[in-house]
Structure 1
């Protein structure tokens, strides 16, 4: 178990609501969705759903970002994630990590499996079926986000380079990885990560300790980081 999974849940029973990509409201959804493109088993569920309160907080964060950077938008990479999708992505990420090290899954020793799995689980939640320990994304309370800019003259949206891609299993994913760099571009990466954190925490979200892109409110991870006694969002099937 991860430390936040010991937090009790008293679900407030808010419904899941759809996130729509809308330049006027400022919130953008990334299309095509990366996990659906890999074949993740969403069935008839869309990844772009969140709890009602999460949508309202996102809108507040976007309004704040708009005041700071008028043509910048919050881009949603991923939101609601059914548990079968969580399992699919954990397995996929493990296989990708194995391949990146020039290894074969079928020939891994137990020590290698355990070591590689530990790397994966630094960034991925356990795909638990237990209602007491739902993965954060399966609650509708966790979102993976980045920043983009919109050029109204050309009608083009451009994703801001944050120094590493979302889901990269490496230390570059740590929020403050570039904090002490004197390289001009890396200093900009850190500044943009700080901006993203500022606009998201403005509306009450907290950031995952290992992932510059992952924010949540009301789930067990949020409660653990915020020293709250209860989570208000549990798993949604």
Structure 2
């Protein structure tokens, strides 16, 4: 169990609502759908109503700082079945990237690979007390698109299992007063900081190890606030138990 999963949940029962495609950049079909993830009739591009309202506010902040730029929504609501699919897929891809065959791994090797996977992916748990963040409709993976419509290079792709995914992976290279300053790499950190600024001003909090993952009102959001000295409270968003019947237009 991760520390944030100890936060109690008192779900406010807000519905899931569709993310408006005219306001944000949505990839269709969804990246995980392309891999065969089992969404069924469910859409990945829905969020709890209060979360969507804050995402719209974040977009408004971005427009002030970078006119013409838009937030790219990579992923939002994720059923637990999709979480399971992507965890298994990531494990297999990670093993292959090391030129290994899963069936030939020793148990210590297997555990090492799983440890790397679960550093970035939540356990696909059906326990309503410890839901994967995206299954709550309160977590979102985002990036940026510039005024030309080009996806902004953030230094590493979303979901990469490596230290480059850490929010401050390029911070040292962005400090002009540091011996490690690198003008070619510095923009990566600056863009991550821009994304962080517009999202946090809207009320979101960022995952400690993923530059793209933000949430509002879930267990992780509460726990991150507690690390900043805020009082303990219950999360207002738990796992969406019946997404098909809880989405409104």
Normalising by the smaller structure, the TM-score range is over 0.9
Q: Write the distance in 1 (CA, Å) between the matches of 2:185 and 2:12.
A: 41
Inter-partner Cα distance in structure 2 for 1:185 and 1:72 = 21
2:184, 2:85 → 1: CA distance? 34
Alignment match, 1:168 = 160
Alignment of 1:32-181 (within 5 A): 32-151=29-148, 157-181=149-173
**For residues 8 and 103 of structure 2, what CA distance do their matches in structure 1 show?**
38
Partner of 1:232: 236
Q: How many Å apart are 1:150 and its aligned residue?
A: 2.9
What CA distance in whole angstroms lies between the structure 1 residues aligned with 2:63 and 2:189? 20
TM-score for both structures, normalised by structure 2: 0.91
Where structure 1 has 5 or more consecutive residues not aligned to the other structure, the ranges are 152-156
Q: Which has a greater percent of strand? A: 1
Distance 1:5 1:185 in 2: 39
Query: The residue matched to 2:150 in structure 1 has which SS?
Result: strand
Displacement after TM superposition at 1:36 (Å): 0.4
Unaligned runs of 5+ in 2: 174-180, 227-231, 242-249
Q: Tell whether the 8 Å contact from 2:71 to 2:144 is kept in structure 1 after alignment.
A: yes
Counterparts of 1:31 and 1:231 in 2: how far apart (Å)?
A: 31
* 1:203 aligned residue: 202
Tell me the alpha carbon deviations over residues 160-209 of structure 1, each in whole angstroms, 9 at most, x when there is no partner.
00000000000000000000011112100000000000000001100001
Structure 1 CA distance for aligned equivalents of residues 184 and 92 of structure 2: 31
Contact kept? 1:12, 1:232, Cα under 8 Å:
yes
Per-residue CA deviations over 1:77-128 (Å, capped at 9, x if unaligned) read 0000000000000000000000001111111111011111010001000100
Stretches of 4+ aligned residues off by more than 4 angstroms: none
Contact 2:125 2:131 in 1 (8 A): yes
Q: How far has the Cα of 1:33 moved from its partner?
A: 1.0
Q: How many residues align?
A: 229
Q: Give 1:2's aligned residue.
A: 2
Aligned twin of 2:14: 14
Aligned to 1:154: none
> Secondary structure of 1:9's partner?
coil
